[in-house]
Structure 1
Amino acid sequence: MTSTPLPTTRPARADAARNYDLLVAAGREAFAEHGTDASLEEIARRAGVGIGTLYRRFPNRTALLEAVYVDEIQSVCNRAYGFADELGPYDALAAWLRSFVDYSVSKKSLAGELTVALGKDSEFFTACKTNVRDAGELLLEAAKADGSVRPELQLMDILRLVGGITMGRDMSREQAGRLLEIVLAGLRA
């Protein structure tokens, strides 16, 4: 299955790619610890590069947030394909939904900040959603084909349920996990 090109790309030149990866990793850590208002100077320091290098690659905070978000979305999609290769159809779908909930619970502020900056219907979010949908459809269709889930299920319905679980302001990972298990039980054929 081919994925839609994501809206940010890693540079090809080796030194630029290394700095990009270092900045995205440092950004992910800093945003997780301090929220989306984390200091860009601190992110550059964590990455071991100067602030000029950060601004050459990411001209503003939103550009860095986009890169971190895309990296995370790509990871969500990659997990779907990995689960499809390693597990049976239902187990692959369930494992992916569990990882999706865990990701969503921990990344609310990042998505919220980008939604404000770009708009929920932006090309950026459309490309990200397309990739997630393609990965999820692969798993759902395999589970339908082997009869382990109900045939009338639609991925967008499942993702809306999962999204509803993660929208709670004070939702813990544990509570989100319990709620997801209720949803998973309802998917069974």
Structure 2
Amino acid sequence: MTGQRSDARRNYQRILSVAETEVAAHGADASLERIARTAGVGSATVRRHFPTRQALLEAVFHERIGHLCDSARRLNDTDDSRAALLEWLQGLLDYAVSARGLADALTYEPPTDQPATNSCGNALEEAGTPLLRHAIRDGAVKGEVTFHDLLTLSVGIALATEHHSEPAVQADRLFRLAVEGISPGSRPADGPARA
């Protein structure tokens, strides 16, 4: 029995390693059959460990999402709540642009009353919502803004720019436009938005 468990763990790690490479190359549409073939396992083994494409994507992005959540917790102690929220959102956007497939994975998670407990979207919401609430309480963000509004904005920018020759530059430009507004004399964005 122990040998079977260690084989299962090795298979899981091998599948996950191959999946990370495939998702980086092909995004959320990475072929599950190719992942299985490259990992040297059958498709049934992949599906046993990752019953859905979403489950596989969650596993691929788990560690980096953890870093974003840690960053949100650290930034929550910052005095300038607007700058803290914008810095965190910029980090989320940077990762969504650089990690092909993350934005797609997050679009599979519409807001619900009962989100999946281990989902990327749920983890981001739990980490980012205190930053948003702090900024709303300080009057730095409008009270009707929700976390899902900000996540949708970040995901939308990442998806809209992924085929540009310089997606990070275009994503940063769109993020600054969203934060600053398009009207002359709008309040400039604080925080990490780059020129």
TM-score (ref. length: structure 1): 0.61
Q: Does 1:185 align with 2:180?
A: yes
Instruction: Say whether 1:55 aligns with 2:57.
Output: no
- Whether 1:90 and 2:79 are equivalent positions in the alignment is no
1:150 pairs with 2:144:
no
Using the TM superposition, name which of 92-101 and 67-76 deviates more: 67-76
Query: Aligned residues, how many?
Result: 166
Once the 2 structures are TM-superposed, how far is the Cα of residue 27 of structure 1 from its aligned partner? Answer: 2.4
SS at match of 1:80: helix
Shift in Å at residue 31 of structure 1?
A: 1.6
- For residue 169 of structure 2, the aligned residue among 165, 174, 179 is 174
- Whether contact under 8 Å (2:76, 2:84) holds in the other structure is yes
1:182 deviation in Å? 2.3
Shift of 1:22: 6.3
Change (3 A) 1:96 1:32: same
Normalized per residue, the structure richer in helix is: 1
- SS of residue paired to 2:115: helix
Instruction: Point out where structure 2 has 5 or more consecutive residues left out of the alignment.
Output: 182-186, 191-195
TM-score (norm 2): 0.59
- The match for 2:132 is 140
Which range moved further: 93-102 or 159-168?
159-168
Deviation readout 1:3-61 (Å, 9 max, x if unpaired) = xxxxxxxxxx99977875665354223320244127325753xxxxx637x93772567
Name the Cα RMSD after superposition.
4.1
The CA distance in 1 between the partners of 2:26 and 2:89, in whole Å, is: 26
State the one-letter code of the partner of 1:150. Answer: V
| Matching residue of 2:59 | 67
Q: Structure 2: how far apart are the matches of 1:180 and 1:99?
A: 11
Which stretch shifts more, 54-63 or 32-41?
54-63
Q: Distance in 2 between matches of 1:164 and 1:17?
A: 36
Instruction: Please list the CA deviations of residues 114-168 of structure 1 after superposition, one character each: whole Å capped at 9, or x if unmatched.
Output: 97xxx65598x93333332222211112223344x13425123333333332231
Deviations 1:42-82 (A, max 9, x none): 753xxxxx637x93772567343342144444443333223
Q: Which residue of 1 aligns with 2:193?
A: none
* 1:138 to 1:69, Cα distance in 2 relative to 1, 3 A: same
Structure 1 portions without partners, runs of 5+: 1-12, 45-49
Give the equivalent residue in structure 1 for 2:184. none
What percent of counterpart residues are identical? 32
- Deviation of residue 87 (structure 1)? 7.3
